[in-house]
Chain A
Amino acid sequence: MNTMLTKSLRIAALVAATFSTSHVLAAEKIIKIDGSSTVYPISEAMAEEFQKATKTKVTVGESGTGSGFKKFCRGETDISDASRPIAQKEIDACKEAGIQFIELPIAFDALTVVVNSKNDWVKSLSVDELKNIWKPGSNVKNWKQVNAAYPDKAMPLFAPGTASGTFDYFTEAVNGKSKSSRTDFTPSEDDNVLVQGVAGNVGALSYFGMAYYEENKDKLRAIPISAKAGGPAVLPSAATVENGTYQPLSRPIFIYVNATAAAFKPEVKAFVNFYLEHAPKLVAEVKYVPLPADDYAAVKAHFKALKPGSGFGGKNEVGIKVKDLINRIK
């Protein structure tokens, strides 16, 4: 019993010690980031470089855009990564907790529609054709149903899971309503599973972020998308995303900064400035598309002015320009 008693005393001491030291730690400067796994690679690169340059500690989680906002609106994080704009429910939650945020677009992601590299019949798809395939209740199961000229091949569908921001954006852009989609596809939260699915099926069709296509070009082929039937079909690339011709499947991705932290924590302010300063280089390095240079300048000015609020008003929106977005917040 002696050893047992000392052991339990030791545990009690441990717990007591933690409580007494937690306020000491709170004084230590740690910048906390959590949120979207799509934005994660960018924030990770920034955190790595910033920590090297300034010795300030930065942690990055990837619990997803929704979970990230939950933590952000409880004041647990300084910055929230988001692959979609903040929703009305989340705005309300933040408001209730007295947390104001600054919305900063930091890069573009291009949703890429992909087929197997052995698929040689599809040259391009229009948004209408995509809608015909992905709309709720769609019974398209064969390429022949998309276009009579296509071969009689089965078309297994793969797509990101319904909890992902990618799914939200694609359904909004193609079907006109976020989360409205046919349900008989193979879902996965792991984009590499989607890559495997398309690589293993000649007739397969899927969509996901461009970085996953870029790394698997030997197995997959990206489909040029035309916004209107008969219109010019555009391949996703850094150039077509940046000049705004790859529509409607290119989307801005964001960081949301706690306005109080931005104003009163010098390390958070320094980090966000570092983020925007190094975005052109680091965003491209992790295979996303940087905003045009003058957009970054506008975002920087926006952050400097510490203007809180969201330009979206709680709703997702397709095809909006970064400058227009910023100008909405006065």
Chain B
Amino acid sequence: MALPISQTKASVLENLDAVRAMIRRHKRNDIVFATIGLLALMLGLLTLLTLFVNLVMDGYPRFNLQFLSDFPSRRAGSAGLLSAWVGSALIMIVTFLTAVPVGVAAGLYLEEYAPKNWFSDLIEINVSNLAGVPSIIYGLLALGLFVYGLDLGQSILTAGLTLGLLILPIVIVSTREAIRSIPVAIREAAYAVGATKWQVVSDHVVKYSQGGILTGVIIGMSRAIGETAPIITIGALTFIAFLPPSPISDVAPYLNFEWLSSSFTVLPIQMFNWLSRPDHAFHINAAATGAIIIVVTLLMNGTAIYLRYKIRKNIKW
């Protein structure tokens, strides 16, 4: 039954008001949520920023090249980070060389080759679980396995392997996620033209997932560089005023692996030591070290984002 025109108009107007009210309400909800979201974001960011600014202001007097080229000392003013940053860098090399091949291979296997059964599920659950295990547990494992079991001692190799184990789950998970993001059509197209499984994996899967894998690797590494607990557990030293033997030698084969068995210290441990000193001048050194660790971590994460962007841009499918 058709309503009289005047009545229809009234009801439409009434409805319109209701619709407008609804739109207003939803817009208000949007604003409220956006504000809450922004506040939540700021809470994290501002805390980090305050901390960082605080560290920079406290550590400002020590930001010079000498701080990076001096060995630790009992005099705060002439104490530097040389053995600590060299130690951290060498350990990162070992971590990279162990965690990346093993992690990427494991991720590829799980995603491309592993049969889908309860055993693979079990491995999958365990890998995700490992990513959440407290780092000190890795330290204890490494103390038993690497330091005493394999008799590698309190060396750079031990520390690098420990941190490699620590970031292995991160590398595996990010490898798998990167592989999963490749469209099925790419694989099917490759199979359609007669490629073998290995050709698909090596020519397409690995190639297109590089960006994601690299991001995961760098994020794992930036976690590793700040780790202190497992390194203390395996017995890092605090005062060490000499460098490990150089990895490059002037006689063939031009490479020298003695540095792997050298004792070491790392940035966070040096910072912790300075922080626990009674003398306030050391606290300035600690603040400067903290700022440097944050900058290194930010740089690494920034590189990860940049590389991902760059590699994605080159992928055309």
- Residues of chain A at the chain B interface (Cβ within 8 Å): 1, 4, 7-8, 10-11, 14-15, 17-18, 21-22, 24-25, 30, 32, 34, 37, 40-41, 43-45, 47-48, 51, 57-63, 71, 190-192, 209, 211-212, 214-216, 285-287
A48 B278 Cβ-Cβ under 8 A: no
The reply to whether the CB of B262 lies closer than 8 angstroms to some CB of chain A is: yes
Per-position contact with A for B244-280: 1 when CB-CB < 8 Å, else 0? 0000000000000110111100000000010111111
The reply to whether the CB of B53 lies closer than 8 angstroms to some CB of chain A is: no
21 intermolecular pairs with C-beta atoms under 8 Å apart: A8-B101, A17-B257, A18-B152, A18-B155, A18-B157, A24-B258, A41-B277, A43-B239, A44-B74, A48-B72, A48-B73, A48-B74, A48-B239, A58-B239, A60-B240, A61-B237, A190-B275, A192-B276, A192-B278, A209-B278, A286-B74
The reply to whether the CB of B226 lies closer than 8 angstroms to some CB of chain A is: no
Q: Which residues of B contact A71 (CB under 8 A)?
A: 235
Having A11-B101, A40-B239, A63-B235, one finds 19 other A-B pairs with CB under 8 Å, namely A4-B101, A4-B104, A8-B101, A14-B260, A18-B257, A18-B260, A25-B261, A34-B237, A47-B241, A59-B239, A60-B240, A61-B236, A61-B237, A190-B276, A192-B276, A192-B277, A215-B280, A285-B74, A286-B74
The reply to whether the CB of B105 lies closer than 8 angstroms to some CB of chain A is: yes
Per-position contact with A for B198-232: 1 when CB-CB < 8 Å, else 0? 10001000000000000000000000000000001
Within 8 Å by CB of A287, from B239, B262, B278, lies: B278
Within 8 A of A (CB), among B75-120: 94, 97-98, 100-101, 104-105
Question: Complex formed: what's the CA distance from A286 to B100 in Å?
Answer: 45
Q: Given known contacts A18-B157, A25-B258, A60-B239, is B202 in contact with A1 (CB within 8 Å)?
A: yes
Q: Which residues of A contact B235 (CB under 8 A)?
A: 34, 61, 63, 71
Q: Which residues of B contact A41 (CB under 8 A)?
A: 74, 277
Nearest B residue to A26, CB-CB = B261
Q: Which residues of A contact B276 (CB under 8 A)?
A: 37, 190-192
Q: Which residues of B contact A212 (CB under 8 A)?
A: 278
Q: Given known contacts A18-B261, A21-B258, is B241 in contact with A51 (CB within 8 Å)?
A: yes
Q: Given known contacts A18-B257, A212-B278, is B74 in contact with A59 (CB within 8 Å)?
A: no
Question: Complex formed: what's the CA distance from A37 to B157 in Å?
Answer: 26
Within 8 Å by CB of B238, from A51, A62, A209, lies: A62
Q: Which residues of A contact B278 (CB under 8 A)?
A: 191-192, 209, 211-212, 214-216, 287
Minimum-distance CB pairs A-B, first 9: A17-B257, A60-B239, A215-B278, A7-B101, A212-B278, A45-B74, A211-B278, A61-B237, A18-B260
Q: Which residues of B contact A30 (CB under 8 A)?
A: 263
Within 8 Å by CB of A11, from B98, B241, B263, lies: B98
Number of CB contacts from chain A to chain B under 8 A: 103
Q: Which residues of B contact A10 (CB under 8 A)?
A: 97
Question: Complex formed: what's the CA distance from A215 to B276 in Å?
Answer: 12
B237 A60 Cβ-Cβ under 8 A: yes
Q: How many Å from the CB of B291 to the closest CB on chain A?
A: 19
Q: How many Å from the CB of A104 to the closest CB on chain B?
A: 19
The reply to whether the CB of B306 lies closer than 8 angstroms to some CB of chain A is: no
Q: Which residues of A contact B262 (CB under 8 A)?
A: 25
Nearest A residue to B97, CB-CB = A11
Q: Which residues of A contact B261 (CB under 8 A)?
A: 18, 21-22, 25
Q: Which residues of A contact B105 (CB under 8 A)?
A: 4
Question: Complex formed: what's the CA distance from A14 to B101 in Å?
Answer: 14
Nearest B residue to A20, CB-CB = B257
B238 A61 Cβ-Cβ under 8 A: yes
Nearest B residue to A23, CB-CB = B261
Q: Which residues of B contact A58 (CB under 8 A)?
A: 239, 241
Q: Which residues of A contact B260 (CB under 8 A)?
A: 14, 17-18, 21
**Residue from B74, B94, B157, B232 having most chain A Cβ neighbours under 10 A:** B74
The reply to whether the CB of B33 lies closer than 8 angstroms to some CB of chain A is: no
Question: Complex formed: what's the CA distance from A32 to B154 in Å?
Answer: 12
Nearest B residue to A45, CB-CB = B74
Nearest B residue to A74, CB-CB = B148
Nearest B residue to A61, CB-CB = B237
The reply to whether the CB of B242 lies closer than 8 angstroms to some CB of chain A is: yes
Q: Which residues of B contact A14 (CB under 8 A)?
A: 94, 97, 157, 257, 260
Within 8 Å by CB of A7, from B97, B240, B241, lies: B97
Question: Complex formed: what's the CA distance from A8 to B279 in Å?
Answer: 47
Q: Which residues of A contact B97 (CB under 8 A)?
A: 7, 10-11, 14
Within 8 Å by CB of A44, from B198, B239, B242, B263, lies: B239
Question: Complex formed: what's the CA distance from A21 to B255 in Å?
Answer: 13
Question: Complex formed: what's the CA distance from A9 to B309 in Å?
Answer: 31
Q: Which residues of A contact B157 (CB under 8 A)?
A: 14-15, 18
Q: Which residues of B contact A25 (CB under 8 A)?
A: 258, 261-262
Question: Complex formed: what's the CA distance from A212 to B276 in Å?
Answer: 10
Q: Which residues of B contact A8 (CB under 8 A)?
A: 101
Q: How many Å from the CB of A10 to the closest CB on chain B?
A: 7
Q: Which residues of B contact A37 (CB under 8 A)?
A: 276
Per-position contact with A for B269-309: 1 when CB-CB < 8 Å, else 0? 00001011111100000000000000000000000000000
Nearest B residue to A22, CB-CB = B261
Q: Given known contacts A18-B157, A18-B260, A287-B278, is B101 in contact with A59 (CB within 8 Å)?
A: no
Nearest B residue to A51, CB-CB = B241
Question: Complex formed: what's the CA distance from A15 to B198 in Å?
Answer: 29
Q: Given known contacts A47-B239, A48-B74, A192-B275, is B153 in contact with A22 (CB within 8 Å)?
A: yes
Q: How many Å from the CB of B65 to the closest CB on chain A?
A: 21
A48 B241 Cβ-Cβ under 8 A: yes
Q: Which residues of A contact B232 (CB under 8 A)?
A: 63
A59 B263 Cβ-Cβ under 8 A: yes
Question: Complex formed: what's the CA distance from A191 to B282 in Å?
Answer: 14
